[in-house]
């Protein structure tokens, strides 16, 4: 296998200082990267280095330090544009996180472009961040909210999806590119083709997907794509909304303030060009510098190697976990990423998570901010293991052994 | 021997037993007050029904959807509060919450020592701050019922 020669997980792990920590006297087995990923040395150094040597406010200073900081911060926009294969760097809008990106869309596209009586389509496996902003829009702006059902395998029901679009009322489809609960990767190209056929624009929630595979917005042919830095080994506090420039230009601003204007008088203000129209206030400067370092880090490894590593881990985990009696893996999508939810007979997910934690193994447990999906699955909660670039096969084995111990304890 | 020694500080046998086979885990048909408890962070839910008996707590029943800690806590709570008046019950809750947060009750009245002894198996949650609310959720529901409030959260 060529991957093993180019991808050495033990060398990768040395890039992440936190992984040498011990938890309750045991090596840390961190299987909660889907909630937030750990940070490589390159990100830490970039942010600390900026604070120590090169920091001022951006975009408005006429002095040397401000100009250098602006360059460093704006280099992140170039890195994001390259990462996503955007046509133009001005299509990259920085937000505070993916929730910020989707709320921007619900406000500026939902209230600014959609008309009362039109509909927004989401799916039955969305995170609350891609449900609640649209409910607020529905209630304030008479926009109908439609939900694509999922199959028992945890995949989108694509026939039902097309049925929801047939009456031509749907203005926007906002769907996850990869479920944070089921690991399901949705058929993005097909979603876009079907939606465009009926005149609907498409936004993807790429919070999980962009961590696991190359996202090329031109190849996807989508209209908007949102993601967040902290799951891609970058810092918290910075998110991304990519949008087609002609659409971003039509949309009214979201938040008003400094940095987003062209001119201000008491009678009338005019807006800055995109993307700055959507970036009111002092941005997350250090976080932008950190995110640039994270993108460089991921690009240095390469998505092919990263995806191959995670596919191998996921396959190994599914094989190991499926041998544990009384353990049910939730979601059996054909196309899936390194996020695995499971339920254990006779043991609540919180108890499972606490007993794994007792063994130094970090997983997430609960409804994963996806309560409607939990209701669809008839579950109160699941435990979830998720993998990152630094996850090893041995850690997956530790999870399996840990779960066997939990099971024998609760049996 | 099962290699589970380091699990037992939190999951003592009494918790596993009451979590798996709660003695009072049923709705009361005849009751005076009831309230629901909800932990929105984790999705745990409990409802408590209380039959009052001359101003003191008579029969208590509950339905819980949650972890072993929350179910066991609800069951042990029922045993601890029967026969107490509402003021007494609230004092016991304050003492229990202190124990759940810190591992012991630092300022407990002498008369609470005996009922707290019964609740002591739950004191292990103090090492798991995110799980303290699992143990206190049924108490929040009980106090809400006694106060005539329909719903409580453990937030």
pLDDT of residue A3: 45
Per the listing, tokens 């926007």 go with A172
pLDDT score recorded for residue A142: 95
A371 in B contact zone (CB under 8 Å): yes
CATH tag, A45-299: 3.40.640.10
- Write out pLDDT tens, residues A111-151: 999 999 999 999 999 999 999 999 999 999 999 999 999 99
pLDDT at A1 (0 to 100): 42
- Judged by CB atoms within 8 Å, which residues 57-116 of B form the interface with A? 65-69
Residue ranges of domains in chain A: 2-30+302-410, 45-299
Contacts of residue B11 in chain A, CB cutoff 8 Å? 351, 355, 409
**For residue B43, what is the enclosing H or E element?**
none
CB contact under 8 A, B131 and A405: no
CATH pick for A2-30+302-410 out of 3.90.1150.10, 3.40.1410.10, 3.40.50.10880, 3.40.920.10? 3.90.1150.10
* Cβ within 8 Å of residue A16, ≥6 positions away: A38, A39, A40, A41, A390
Indicate the helix (H) or strand (E) that contains A377. Answer: helix A371-377
Test A365 with B42 for CB contact under 8 angstroms: yes
Does A374 sit within 8 Å of B2, measured CB to CB?
no
**Beta carbons of A173 and A200 less than 8 angstroms apart:** yes
Percent of chain A's residues with pLDDT above 90: 89
Mark yes or no for CB contact B42/A350 under 8 Å. Answer: yes
Tokens 């004191």 map to which residue?
Answer: B123
- Shortest CA gap B68–chain A (Å): 7
Strands A224-228 and A201-205: parallel
pLDDT tier at B1 (50, 70, 90 boundaries)? Answer: very low
Domain limits, chain B: 5-153
Which residues of B12-94 form beta strands (DSSP E)?
33-39, 44-53, 56-65
Q: What is the pLDDT of residues A244-275, one digit of tens each?
A: 999 999 999 999 988 888 999 999 999 999 99
pLDDT of residue A327 exceeding 50: yes
Least confident window among A42-56, A74-88, A375-389: A375-389
Least confident of A64-78, A82-96, B33-47: B33-47
Which residues of chain A have a CB within 8 Å of the CB of B7?
A: 355, 358, 405, 409
Q: A347 — contact with chain B (CB < 8 Å)?
A: yes
Q: Please confirm, yes or no, whether A222 is among the known catalytic residues.
A: no
Using a pLDDT cut of 70, give the percent of chain A over it. Answer: 99
A399 contacts A406 by C-beta, under 8 angstroms = no
CA distance B69 to B40: 16
Tell me the CA distances in angstroms from B21 to B18, B76, B124, one per residue in order: 5, 12, 20
Region A22-42: mean pLDDT is 95
* Cross-chain Cβ contact B67/A351 below 8 Å: yes
Over the stretch B90-146, which tens digit does the pLDDT of each residue have? 999 999 999 999 998 877 888 888 889 999 999 999 988 888 999 999 999 999 999
A381: which chain B residues are within 8 Å (Cβ-Cβ)?
42-43
Contact assignment for B2 to A409 by CB distance below 8 Å? yes
- Within an 8 Å CB–CB cutoff, is residue A381 touching chain B? yes
Query: In angstroms, rounded to a whole number, what is the distance separating the alpha carbons of residues A55 and A47?
Result: 10
The Cα A275–Cα A224 span in angstroms is 13
* Catalytic entry in A369, A376, A380, A404: A369
For residue A402, what pLDDT is reported?
Answer: 96
Average pLDDT over chain A reads 95
Q: Which residue has the higher pLDDT, A314 or B42?
A: A314
Q: Which fold has domain B5-153?
A: Sufe protein. Chain: A (3.90.1010)
Whether chain B has a CB inside 8 Å of the CB on A382: the answer is: no
Give per-residue pLDDT as tens, A200-243. Answer: 999 999 999 999 999 999 999 999 999 999 999 999 999 999 99
Tell me the residues of chain A between 392 and 411 that have a Cβ less than 8 Å away from chain B.
Answer: 405, 408-410
- Measured between beta carbons, which residues in chain A are less than 8 angstroms from residue B66? 348, 350, 380
Q: Which residue has the tokens 């191998």?
A: A312
d(CA A335, CA A355): 30
Cis status, amide bond into A275, omega within 30 of 0: yes
Q: Which residue has the tokens 């059902």?
A: A149
Kindly provide the b/e burial profile for residues B110-139, where b requires at least 16 CB atoms within 10 angstroms of the residue's own CB: eebeebbeebbbbbbbbebeebbbbbbbbb
Q: What confidence category does residue A6 fall into, taking pLDDT thresholds of 50, 70 and 90?
A: low
Name the pLDDT band for B5 (thresholds 50, 70, 90): low
* DSSP structural state of residue A330: E
Lowest-confidence region among A134-138, A368-372, A390-394: A368-372
Q: What is the pLDDT of residues A329-352, one digit of tens each?
A: 999 999 999 999 999 998 999 999
Strand-pairing partners, residue B45, are: B38, B65
- The pLDDT of residue A369 is 84
């Amino acid at each position: 296998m060529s991957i093993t020669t180019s991808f050495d997980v033990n060398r990768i792990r040395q890039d992440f200082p936190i992984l040498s920590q011990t938890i309750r006297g045991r090596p840390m087995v961190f299987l909660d990267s889907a909630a937030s990923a750990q940070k490589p040395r390159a990100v830490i150094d970039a942010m600390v280095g900026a604070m120590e040597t090169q920091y001022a406010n951006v975009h408005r200073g006429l002095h040397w330090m401000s100009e250098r900081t602006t360059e460093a911060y704006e280099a992140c926009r170039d890195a994001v544009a390259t990462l996503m294969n955007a046509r133009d760097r001005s299509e990259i809008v920085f937000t505070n996180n993916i929730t910020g990106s989707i709320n921007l869309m619900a406000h500026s596209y939902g209230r600014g472009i959609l008309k009362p009586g039109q509909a927004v389509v989401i799916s039955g496996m969305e995170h609350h961040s891609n449900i609640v902003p649209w409910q607020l829009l529905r209630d304030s702006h008479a926009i109908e909210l439609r939900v694509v059902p999922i199959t028992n395998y945890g995949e989108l029901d694509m026939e039902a999806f097309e049925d929801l679009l047939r009456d031509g009322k749907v203005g926007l489809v906002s769907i996850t590119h990869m479920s944070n609960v089921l690991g399901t990767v949705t058929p993005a190209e097909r979603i876009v083709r079907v939606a465009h056929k009926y005149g609907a624009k498409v936004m993807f929630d790429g919070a999980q997907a962009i961590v696991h595979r190359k996202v090329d917005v031109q190849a996807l042919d989508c209209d908007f794509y949102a993601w967040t830095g902290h799951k891609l080994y970058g810092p918290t506090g910075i998110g991304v909304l990519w949008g087609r420039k002609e659409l971003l230009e039509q949309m009214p601003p979201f938040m008003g303030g400094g940095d987003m204007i062209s001119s201000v008088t008491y009678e009338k203000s005019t807006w800055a060009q995109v993307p700055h129209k959507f970036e009111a206030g002092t941005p997350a400067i250090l976080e932008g510098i950190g995110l640039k370092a994270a993108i460089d880090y991921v690009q240095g490894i390469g998505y092919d190697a990263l995806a191959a590593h995670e596919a191998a881990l996921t396959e190994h985990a599914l094989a190991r976990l499926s041998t544990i009696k009384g353990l049910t893996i939730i979601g059996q999508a054909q196309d899936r990423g390194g996020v695995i939810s499971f339920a254990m007979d006779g043991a609540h997910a919180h108890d499972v998570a606490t007993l794994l934690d007792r063994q130094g193994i970090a997983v997430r447990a609960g409804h994963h901010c996806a309560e409607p999906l939990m209701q669809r699955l008839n579950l109160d909660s699941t435990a979830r293991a998720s993998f990152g670039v630094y996850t090893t096969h041995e850690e997956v084995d530790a999870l399996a052994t840990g779960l066997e111990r939990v099971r024998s304890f609760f049996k | 021997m099962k290699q589970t020694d380091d699990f037992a500080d939190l999951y003592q046998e009494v918790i596993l037993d009451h979590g798996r086979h709660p003695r009072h885990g049923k709705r009361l048909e005849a009751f005076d007050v009831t309230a629901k408890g909800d932990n929105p962070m984790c999705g745990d839910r409990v409802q408590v029904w209380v039959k009052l008996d001359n101003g003191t707590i008579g029969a208590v029943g509950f339905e819980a959807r949650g972890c072993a800690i929350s179910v066991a806590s609800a069951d042990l709570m029922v045993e601890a509060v029967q026969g107490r008046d509402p003021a007494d019950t609230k004092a016991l809750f304050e003492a229990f919450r202190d124990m759940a947060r810190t591992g012991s009750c630092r300022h407990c009245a002498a008369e609470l020592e005996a009922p707290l002894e019964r609740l002591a198996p739950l004191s292990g949650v103090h090492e798991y701050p995110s799980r303290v609310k699992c143990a206190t959720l049924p108490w929040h529901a009980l106090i809400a019922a006694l106060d005539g409030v329909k719903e409580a959260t453990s937030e």
